[in-house]
Structure 1
Amino acid sequence: MFRKVLFFIVIMSVQNLCVAQVSFLQNRENINLTEWSFRKGRLNYAEKFSVMENDWEKVKVPHTYSMDAIEDIGYYKGDAWYRTLVEVPASMAQERIFIRFEGVGQEAQVFVNEKRIGKHVGGYSAFCFEITDLVKHGQKNLIAVKVNNSPNFKRIPVDDNLFNHYGGIYRPVTIFSTPKYNISPQHQASSGVFVELKGLDKKTAKLEIRTHVSNTSDQKKAQLKYTIKDAKGKKVLSFVESLDQSEPNHMVSSTFEIKKPVLWNGRKNPHLYTVEAELVNGDFVDKVVQTFGIRTYSVDANKGFILNNEPYRLYGVCKHQEWKQFGPAVSDENLIKDMELIDEIGATALRLSHYQHSNTTYDLSDKKGILTWAEIPFVHDYSGREGKNAKQQLTELITQNYNHPSIFVWGLWNEVRAYNSPDEPCVILTKELNALAHELDKTRITTSASDRGMTSNMGNISDLQAWNKYFGWYYGKYEDMATWLDKFHTKYPDRKIGISEYGIGGNIYHQDRSKLEKPNGNFFPEQEQSYYHELTWKILKDRPYVWGSFIWNMFDFSVAGWNRGGISSLNHKGLVTFDRETKKDAFYFYKANWSEEPVLYIAERRNANRKLQTTIKVYTNLNEAIELHVNGKQVAVQNQKSDVNIMKFENVELSEGKNIIAVFSKGKALKDGVIWTVQK
């Protein structure tokens, strides 16, 4: 099947990215709710004004109450309450007022001035309520939120075997206002504006823009004014749609053309157009600004991924949203740091595991040109009762992120197993999710990540299939990756094969490969992780029919209850440590192979206690002579011979005591150095 797809929208300027707020709120009066009172535990009537907060903790949102998941084995799962008082300015008095949560883990009941306004189930997507009739002007308004992260078999994910289910208001909360006649912020908490590519040739891009409008005023007539600008801010075109709103909610569709379109072309040129949508009703204007890109893609069983009619290798990493210091309650600064590291390594693709991530992350993927796999948390186990919530979360994922040009697939599940029959509830649900995804978005394809065989009851229902393969760590040998790929590419020549996860553990404090205890032991040497990736990347690199490959994981992350690799509650498979302080050797190996930035790096540097005769391994993508110096003297010169950018200096003589090891590129433009010790 050759399936072409589009794309387009949403990204903010770098300045706006530093504000924890989605782009479509930028032109609306808004209040970012950061100061809250917090108390953990089951409380009655905590939404009441009469409740005293003497024993409540003062916290700032983003916030999580589950840091014990990182610090200890096991963590609190249950109720918690957040309360804040906010005075809504008089300037909002004649407008509609909304409250929007970008993410609350895992369920939230929201109260305004003691009135329950709604409940949201699902810990990773945004939700929005209108509170116009409940807000009192000229006095403090009480916002109370009851949060719960207990297991719920009617909610995905149904258990936390793969990652922690953090509790808390861990993403931004905003109160904002719009005119009574607005571009609806309540259409699944999205921007209300959707751009779709309908046709493309070298001269013209034909697009459709759909805008969801909502009206509570007596005025029925209005205008939708659109202005399209290119990446440099130059006006491309503008047009107007006249509205005569007979229904309170309505989707308005318009078509337009861009002449000589510039394509969004991954890392080569992530060109983004801007659309300014203004709903004008007399003197009232509601404005939403988004950006969009134009592209096509397909997947071929032999050529792999095709972007804008040209082969484009997809190689990258998977990513969880948490940091050691903050859990999931990260700032935009943290998210930017993560994406800078992913950009630095040279990844062309990113799998955002295993749930909807912050809008900022998708925005940065758009801007940096990183093709992104977005998915819902339908993972591992199933109850047979989570179907309604899975469909809700998929609807929210697609609707809230529909316009991101970086997103190329919707992920439906990860490692969900139907052992007994093709009629198990998880199989039926997957078919329903696949149909729903295509109903909501006719431009993208679906995928899933299997840990079973090439064929299984859950397999090959989504448009694309990928496999989580850990050869040599949980089973077999590292070299089996090549055998498996070649065997099944030959057996199923028309099947598109992707590797959704691969990797092994690596602890930077472990530096003796002879002590390796895989996969569940207490010693995960960093050198073993590097060796695995050196071997596995060559296998993947030499097989362009693999439509995409994703390292598990970019960053170490927490799994409460795990006790492996010498640090409890931690998955050590990251290329960067959980605190983001240390890039492991394998990070530099991939940077030398993926990035266009010059790399010269001495590997195994933390293995600092050496023998008198040693091997010095260097990762470099420089096509020039590399000089090795020991204690200030040049001892060897080599040119690159490896097709995976590994250089080894064998049988290097050291001296007793400290040794200064240095490598230099030709002309000394680039250098790296370490100090190693030979015990007397």
Structure 2
Amino acid sequence: MEPLNNDLSQMKAKKLFTLFILHAFLTLQAQIPFVKERNHINLTEWLFAKGVHYNAQKINFNTSDWQKVSVPHTYSMDAINAMGYFQGEAWYRTQVSIPKSMANERVFIRFEAVGKEAQVYVNEKNIGEHKGGYAAFCYEITDFITPNTPVNIAVKVSNAPNFKMIPVDDNLFNHYGGMYRSVQIFSTPKTNISPTFYASSGVFVAQKEIKKEAATIEIRTHLSTQSATNSKINSKINYKIVDAKNQIVAQKEQILPPFKKDSLVTTLFEIKNPILWNGRKNPHLYTVQISLEANNKTDQIHQTFGLKTFEVTAEKGTQLNHQDYRLYGVAMHQEWKQTGPALSAEQHHKDMAIIDEIGATALRLSHYQHADLTYQLADEKGILVWTEIPFVHDYSGREQENAKMQLTELILQNYNHPSIFTWGLWNEVRAYNSKSEACVQLTEELNKLAHQLDPTRPTASASDRGIEGFMENITNLQAWNKYYGWYYGKYEDLGKWLDESHSKYPTIPLGISEYGAGGNIANQNNSIQDKPFGQNFPEMDQSLCHEISWKIIKDRPFVWSSFVWNIFDFSVAGWNRGGITNLNHKGLVTYDRTTKKDAFYFYKTNWSKEAVLYIAERRNTIRKETETTVKVYTNQPTATLWLNGKKIATQKLTSDINIIEFKNIKLAKGNNHIELKAGKLTDDVNWMLD
């Protein structure tokens, strides 16, 4: 009887597991709004195998030794944990039953990103190939499936080097492999708002004119049909635009003439007394609901958008909605120590909450298209975004078509996000000889393409060379990566460079696309500095870099943008610097997100409206000298120091970068308790005098 009971138990457990997985498929929320609004399934449970597997797309292929994984997933964690990493082919397989609710509908599969190449098979049929590790792609699979019948999906992926794709090398960041963003199957009626137009929403909201009394917008809607009767029956689109309070500001019904296959519908709207998307001051979002009715079926999606004006001048810097608006913030790579690039929605929310907390007005998404949720959160928080394609550092001269495709995907998939103020075309790509070099010609072509796809936004690029050059100033906006005091010169030299450049080139707007210094929270001896390639990157030296650099930038309003490199430590496989291998230590927050470094609180004190009181150099817990300085970051008018329970002094804030220093504080031998008070705020540390 025991084997029978075990068999029954296993059958019940298997049934319960199947029900659980199906429930998870049907209830998990997709991150992409226009997918979430449709009948969809999240494909989270997969079988995985690394390496070359011939005919792994075959239904009867033996996967008994394959690993069970959950998507988002990467197979490149060795890039973080070891020197070097696997770069090559791998496979994912799953089986899913298409529900009856998708019968008589068109069915699609959408990948938000796969690193870096993907070949997709459905029931052994090769349905498409995508090259590029950061953009979404979507295929229709209606003809390859039968509802209520198991569907076998196999995906061959590769993160191997490919000189016909950007980026062509991984000198600056890891090229992770895997299905590291979400995957969904979803369905629509036979006539739909096209989800396969470069995997975009199919809806594009373009600003035509913005005045105080009214704004004119153009909504372009891409339609698709497989209905044999659509050529005989008129369809119609209903548009409804609401503001942030869900009040209707415009609506229209449009009767469509008969059409076959694909069609583009363009409609103009006027929004009276528009509320502008105004950064952190008021990130006001409108929402347009588009309902397409055809053959008694309705396909409906929503798209949020915002209205703004944006301009940059060499003298005044940035203006948002015709008002001066300083762009200062951070750059960000999208990866965690715990998961690599395979981030959950919770991790995305936490990252954006940290950027919001520091008070940044701008965010540079380096060096590739990020997850759609990142742009959504930037829209909501009012953080202006520089987003870019991975045309980085080096080039092969054979990546032209792929670079154009990745730029097209970046723009069309993110067109409606009001937070995006510029499309970035390259970072640290160098032309040494002439304007006829392949990288220059490609940049000119990319710049032209960007303006064709989106005439409303400027292009930008980030240079580590001089003000003038073969690559420089092709894009509308130019910024420079400057590491004075880290790779060359002194921290103070940034001010000299800005002033001399502004004087010599008065018509060129100057931006700082990167600046910063490494800082390891385990390195607290400032007398040992091995920058930029050694093993000791003291945290207090990183803080000094940012104190000096921010003072320089703050006092020069003509600097149209500035971005700290980087908000988070991130992995670069093969690096051996700063006491931790495979890591770029320039982040203001540690790679695992557990510790905000001193420099983070320096910027929070200067950028955020939140009250801040923070004792710097707090991790330098073993002191050798009897007399010490207690450095405090605060935006409060006064702060009071207490030592071992005794009030020592009160000081007023006179620094324009929010630093108070209590000098010549005499420590007692052994443990010392230092406490700071400012109004209702307190902070304290314990330092040992050795």
What is the TM-score of this pair, normalised by structure 1? 0.96
1:621 — aligned with what? 635
Distance apart, 1:173 and its partner CA? 0.3
Map residues 501-516 of structure 1 onto 2, 5 A cutoff: 501-516=514-529
CA contact (8 A) 2:375 2:419 kept: yes
* 2:225 partner letter: N
Q: 1:318 — aligned with what?
A: 331
Match status 1:492 vs 2:505: yes
1:112 corresponds to which of 109, 114, 122? 122
* SS of aligned partner of 1:133: helix
Q: Which residue of 1 aligns with 2:185?
A: 175
CA distance in 2, matches of 1:128, 1:600: 49
Distance 1:108 1:530 in 2: 42
Secondary structure of the 1:318 match is strand
Q: Does 1:479 align with 2:492?
A: yes
Q: Which residue of 2 aligns with 1:635?
A: 648
What is the alpha-carbon distance in structure 1 between the residues aligned to residue 257 and residue 205 of structure 2? 22
Pick from 66, 71, 74: which aligns with 1:64? 74
Q: Distance in 2 between matches of 1:363 and 1:187?
A: 20
Range 235-244 or range 551-560, more displaced? 235-244
Q: Which residue of 2 aligns with 1:653?
A: 666
Among candidates 405, 421, 429, match of residue 416 of structure 1? 429
**Aligned AA (1:617):** K
The answer on whether the counterparts of 1:20 and 1:332 sit within 8 Å (CA) in structure 2 is no
What corresponds to 1:47 in structure 2? 57
- 46-55 vs 109-118, which moves further: 46-55
2:374 aligned with 1:361: yes
SS at match of 2:527: helix
CA distance in 1 between partners of 2:30 and 2:489 (Å):
45
* Superposition map of 1:363-512 within 5 A: 363-512=376-525
Shift of 1:481: 0.3
Do 1:18 and 1:332's aligned partners in 2 also have CA atoms closer than 8 Å?
no
1:255-334 alignment runs, 5 A limit: 255-334=268-347
For the residues of structure 1 that align with 2:309 and 2:187, how far apart are their CA atoms? 37
* Structure-2 separation of matches of 1:636 and 1:280: 73
Q: 1:431 to 1:277 in 2, by over 3 A?
A: same
Return 383-392 or 656-665, whichever deviates more: 656-665
Tell me the secondary structure at the aligned position of residue 86 of structure 2: coil
SS of 1:472's partner is: coil
Return the letter of the residue paired with 1:379. Answer: V
Q: What CA distance in whole angstroms lies between the structure 2 residues aligned with 1:352 and 1:443?
A: 20
Q: Please, which of 653, 666, 675 is the counterpart of residue 686 of structure 2?
A: 675
Tell me the residue number matched to 2:606. Answer: 593
Q: Per the alignment, in what secondary structure is the counterpart of residue 426 of structure 1?
A: helix
Q: Are 1:347 and 2:360 an aligned pair?
A: yes
| Distance in 1 (alpha carbons) for counterparts of 2:329 and 2:223 | 39
Alignment deviations for residues 473-513 of structure 1 (CA, whole Å, 9 cap, x no partner): 11111111001100010001111110000001000000011
Corresponding residue to 2:571 among 558, 570, 579: 558
**Distance in 2, Cα, partners of 1:167 & 1:397:** 20
Instruction: Answer yes or no: is the 8 Å Cα contact 1:20–1:331 preserved in 2.
Output: no
Instruction: Please say if 1:31 is aligned against 2:44.
Output: no
Kindly provide the amino acid, as one letter, of the partner of residue 401 in structure 2.
K
Gaps of 5+ in 1: 1-16
Q: CA deviation at 1:26?
A: 2.1
Match of 1:189 in 2: 199
Is residue 519 from structure 1 mapped to residue 529 from structure 2 by the alignment? Answer: no
Q: Distance in 1 between matches of 2:460 and 2:258?
A: 39
Matched residue type, 2:167? P
Number of equivalences: 660
The DSSP-based 3-state class of the residue aligned with 1:590 is helix
Equivalent of 1:214 in 203, 216, 224:
224
The residue type paired with residue 574 of structure 1 is G
CA contact (8 A) 2:276 2:284 kept: yes
Q: Deviations over 1:519-546 (max 9, x none)?
A: 0000000000000100000000000000
Runs of 4 or more, structure 1, over 3 Å off, are 17-20
Q: Which amino acid aligns with 2:264?
A: M
1:219, distance to aligned residue in structure 2 (A): 1.8
Could you list the per-position Cα deviations for residues 413-441 of structure 1 after superposition, in whole angstroms to 9, with x for gaps in the alignment? 00001112111000000000000000000
1:416 and 1:508 map into 2 onto residues whose CA distance is 32
Residues 554 and 574 in structure 1, CA contact (< 8 A), matched pair in contact too: yes
Helix, strand or coil at the partner of 2:488: coil
Q: Partner of 1:513: helix, strand, or coil? A: coil
Greater length-normalized contact order (CA 8 Å, ≥ 6 residues apart):
1
1:224 to partner: Cα distance? 0.6
Structure 1 letter corresponding to 2:414: N
Q: State the shift of 1:198 in Å.
A: 0.7
Number of the residue aligned with 2:13? none
CA contact (8 A) 2:114 2:180 kept: yes
Contact 1:450/1:459 (8 A) holds in 2: yes
Letter in 1 for 2:81: E
SS of 2:144's equivalent in the other structure is: coil
The CA deviation at 1:278 is 0.4
Q: Report the equivalent of 1:77.
A: 87
Q: Which amino acid aligns with 2:102?
A: M
Q: Distance in 2 between matches of 1:49 and 1:246?
A: 38
Alpha-carbon shift at residue 612 of structure 1 (Å): 1.9
Question: Structure 2 counterpart of 1:676, which letter?
Answer: W
Secondary structure (helix, strand or coil) at the match of 2:604 reads helix
Q: How does 1:155-174 map to 2 (within 5 A)?
A: 155-174=165-184
Looking at structure 1, the residues matched to 199 and 462 of structure 2 have their Cα atoms a distance apart, in angstroms, of: 28
Paired with 1:364 and 1:678, the residues of 2 have a C-alpha distance of 46
| One-letter code aligned to 2:60 | S
Instruction: Name the structure 1 match of 2:12.
Output: none
The offset of 1:568, in angstroms, is 0.4
2: CA distance, partners of 1:426 / 1:234: 49
Q: Contact between 2:28 and 2:42, CA under 8 Å: does it hold in 1? A: no
Question: Does structure 1 retain, via aligned residues, the 8 Å contact 2:30–2:36?
Answer: no
Deviations 1:187-209 (A, max 9, x none): 10000010011111111011110
CA distance in 2, matches of 1:417, 1:212: 38
Equivalent residue letter for 1:619:
Y
Following superposition, the deviation at residue 247 of structure 1 comes to 3.3
CA distance in 1, matches of 2:358, 2:30: 25
Distance 2:270 2:328 in 1: 33
CA deviations on 1:53-95 (whole Å, 9 max, x unpaired) are: 1100000000000000000010001100000000001111100
**Aligned to 2:531, what secondary structure does the other structure show?**
coil
The worse-fitting range, judged by mean Cα deviation, of 353-362 and 653-662 is 653-662
Q: Which residue of 2 aligns with 1:145?
A: 155
Contact 1:68–1:76 under 8 Å retained in 2:
yes
Contact 1:318-1:351 within 8 A present in 2 as well: yes
- 2: CA distance between counterparts of 1:461 and 1:228? 37
Matches of 2:28 and 2:184, distance apart in 1: 15
For 1:230, which of 213, 227, 243 is the aligned residue? 243
Q: Quote how far apart the aligned CAs of 1:20 are.
A: 4.0
1:515 match: secondary structure: coil
8 Å CA contact retained: 1:629, 1:662: yes
Q: Residue 282 of structure 1: CA displacement?
A: 3.5
Percent identical across equivalent pairs? 62
| RMSD between superposed Cα atoms in Å | 1.0
Residue 44 of structure 1: how far off its partner (Å): 0.4
